[in-house]
Chains A and B, each alone.
Chain A
Amino acid sequence: MRNPISEFHPLAVFLYFMTAVGITILWNQPVFLAMSFGIAFGYASALEKGRNILRSLVWLLPVVLLPVIVNPLVNHRGNTPLLYVNDQPITMEAILYGLFTGVMIAAMLFWFQAYSKSLDSDGFLYLFGKRFPSIALMVTMIFRFVPQFHKSLQEIAAVQKTLGVSTSQGTLKQRLQAGGMLLSALISITLEDSLQTADSMNSRGYGLPGKTRAKKIRFTLRDGLLFGAALGELLFFLLLWGMGKTDFYYFPALTSTGWTPEVIVFFAVTCIYFLIPIFIMIGEEIKWLFLKSKISRLPIPKHKSQP
């Protein structure tokens, strides 16, 4: 499915996801963690193809189960012992703590997965390019070198083939040696080429003021709204967190400060905040359906009918 969040300003997207991840890590309340996990999983899955969702379920299992198993074995606090191993109690609290640690890690990983799908390398470079111009240039050029490697390698292979060096003929040893030679030539050539590129860049005025970007990135109203929502959500959480309203303890027994009105409000607000990308997705989908129905009502002569 298309990801409308990726069309927002990189700064707003970055803050949105960092806020979501930050709150997920800091608030260890079970109901909240389950909610964060559910929405992050749904969102990340909506951006993936069917097979990749299954694959992410496969690595999800050890991530959640490992803390459930390891935690009770090393942590013996808690009031409710279930059984004793080597005279050490295995407590229910430790198992639950392990379980929700696993849920927290999984939720965080899904938020990061959605983040990777929402902020491409161009947006990432935009965020850090101003403060770190050399690093941003390097990352950009690294991306550019990968296709160049491929092209140079084909050229070198074509030349070497006329000399009888080929990775597709001969014994295994000869082929491995040929591969090594090709790689060695590739690195020599790209290293020296890169220094020529450096000369060329300098003579064209690299590093002089007045540089512009190929892609215009503007901070519009909707970017401001998303940015404001992320900032507000973060401040709201830090306020409650600082006052200790969000405290939740697993040891010695599961205790919380309870569902006070402010926690209920914050929980609801966070739920809406986490669902923002899904709302936008659904909104765009409805808009598209609406536009499509308009198009179909236009008197356009029909093309070849579909079988």
Chain B
Amino acid sequence: MQLALIVSFLLAGGACLLFFFSFEKRKPAVKDILPVVVMVAAASAGRVIFNFLPQIQPVTAIVIIMGIYCGKQTGFLTGALCALVSNLFLGQGPWTPFQMLAWGLVGMLAAVLAKVPPFRKTWAVCVYGFLASFLYGAITDLWTVMSMGESLSWPLILTAYAAAIPFNLLHGVGNIAFLLLLYRPLGNKLKRIQEKFGVLAC
């Protein structure tokens, strides 16, 4: 009986759909969505380009930057869309809703933390980026864990998550590198279009 898998699948997908519903309800202006489109396109292209390196991709870094500069909603939207679109290139699977939720939450949490000014310092963002890889891993590995059905138990969950640690570490190191490279330059560009065009204010 793989009920746990179906339920977790529906929960993750449902959470993303719920967010999309609330986003559509606000009737977003074209001006507010196009910068997000550009960033998602850049991040997804980056993920496809870096696909030859395991776990190393710029998506998490860009999602965090969008969360910090453009707020909770845009952070979640960027994360969810990055997963959806890059998987259209790399292949959809049962992991898609989990990745959408995980990246969305990473972006959302970044926006919440950014409310506290010291968090906006580069080193603090890098620390968050490193830890975010574990949050992302914990959510995306859920479908692997849930597919074990009746064997689901604490030792199994611990084993699965322990096995994922090296991958999460790689992902975290990649995040730090991309954040060091992109955080300030990209942030300044986002600030500039926010001031110049009056869009995406959080």
B34:A141 contact, CB within 8 angstroms: yes
For A180, the chain B residues whose CB sits under 8 A away are: 181
Which residues of A are at the interface with B, using a C-beta cutoff of 8 A? Answer: 21-22, 25-26, 28, 67, 70-71, 73-75, 94, 97-98, 101, 104-105, 108-109, 112-113, 115-116, 121, 124, 131-135, 137-139, 141-143, 145-146, 149, 180, 184, 187-188, 190-192, 194-195, 197-199, 201-202, 206-207, 247, 250-251
A138-B81, A145-B41 known; A108-B34 Cβ under 8 A: no
Complex: chain A residue closest to B81, CB-CB: A138
Q: Which of B5, B35, B151, B185 contacts A97, CB < 8 Å?
A: B151
Chain B: CB-nearest residue to A113: B91
B156 on interface, CB distance cutoff 8 Å: yes
Task: Return the CB mask of B33-44 against A: 1 if under 8 Å, else 0.
Answer: 111111011101
Instruction: Note all chain A residues with C-beta closer than 8 A to B147.
Output: 67, 101, 104-105
Q: Which residue of B lies closest to A67 (CB)?
A: B148
Whether, in the assembled complex, B85 has its beta carbon less than 8 Å from a beta carbon of chain A, the answer is yes
- Whether A142 contacts B2 by the Cβ 8 Å rule is no
The answer on a CB contact under 8 Å between B37 and A194 is yes
B11 in the interface (beta carbon within 8 A): no
Cross-chain pair count, CB within 8 angstroms: 139
Question: B residues near A, CB below 8 A?
Answer: 1-3, 5-6, 20-21, 23-24, 27-31, 33-38, 40-42, 44-45, 81, 84-85, 88, 91-94, 147-151, 153, 155-156, 159-160, 181, 185-186, 189-190, 193, 197, 199
Q: Do A138 and B38 have beta carbons less than 8 Å apart?
A: no
> Would you give the shortest CB distance from A207 to chain B, in whole angstroms?
8
Please judge, given known A-B contacts A74-B159, A132-B20, whether A195 and B94 are in contact too, CB under 8 Å. Answer: no
B41 engages A142 (CB within 8 Å): yes
Report B-chain residues with C-beta under 8 Å of the C-beta of A202: 30-31
Known: A124-B88, A135-B20, A143-B85; 8 extra A-B contacts, CB below 8 A, are A26-B3, A73-B159, A104-B2, A109-B93, A112-B93, A146-B44, A191-B190, A194-B35
A39 to chain B, nearest CB (A): 18
Identify A191's interface contact among B3, B5, B35, B160, CB under 8 A. Answer: B35
Please give, as numbers and ranges, the residues of chain B lying within 8 Å of A105 by CB-CB distance: 147
A260 CA to B95 CA in the complex, in Å?
35
Contact A74 B30, beta carbon cutoff 8 Å: no
Closest A residue to B158 by CB, please name it. Answer: A74
The winner among A71, A75, A142, A146 for most chain B CB atoms within 10 A is: A142
Cα-based distance from A188 to B40 in the complex (angstroms): 14
A146 to B149, CA, bound (A): 40
Residues of B within 8 A of A141 (CB): 34, 37, 41
B92, A137: Cβ atoms closer than 8 Å: no
Q: In the complex the two chains form, is B41's CB within 8 Å of A191's CB?
A: no
Q: How far is the CA of A133 from the CA of B6 in the complex (A)?
A: 27
Given known contacts A101-B147, A105-B147, A187-B186, A195 and B35 CB-to-CB distance under 8 angstroms = yes
Q: Is the CB of B24 within 8 A of A135?
A: yes
Q: Which residues of B contact A131 (CB under 8 A)?
A: 24
Q: Out of B27, B38, B93, name the residue touching A145 (CB < 8 Å).
A: B38
Chain A residues with CB below 8 A from B149, complex form: 28, 97, 101
Asked whether A101 and B148 contact (CB < 8 A) given A116-B91, A135-B23, A135-B24, the answer is yes
Are B38 and A70 in contact, CB atoms less than 8 angstroms apart?
no
A sample of 17 inter-chain contacts (CB < 8 A) reads A22-B6, A25-B5, A26-B2, A67-B147, A71-B151, A75-B150, A97-B151, A101-B147, A112-B94, A134-B24, A146-B44, A184-B185, A187-B186, A191-B35, A194-B37, A195-B34, A247-B1
Q: Among B41, B42, B159, which residue has its beta carbon within 8 angstroms of that of A70?
A: B159
B148 touches A26 (CB 8 A): no
- Taking a contact as CB atoms under 8 Å apart, the answer to whether B37 and A145 are in contact is yes
User: Among the listed B40, B156, B185, which residue makes an inter-chain contact with A142, where contact means beta carbons less than 8 Å apart?
Assistant: B40
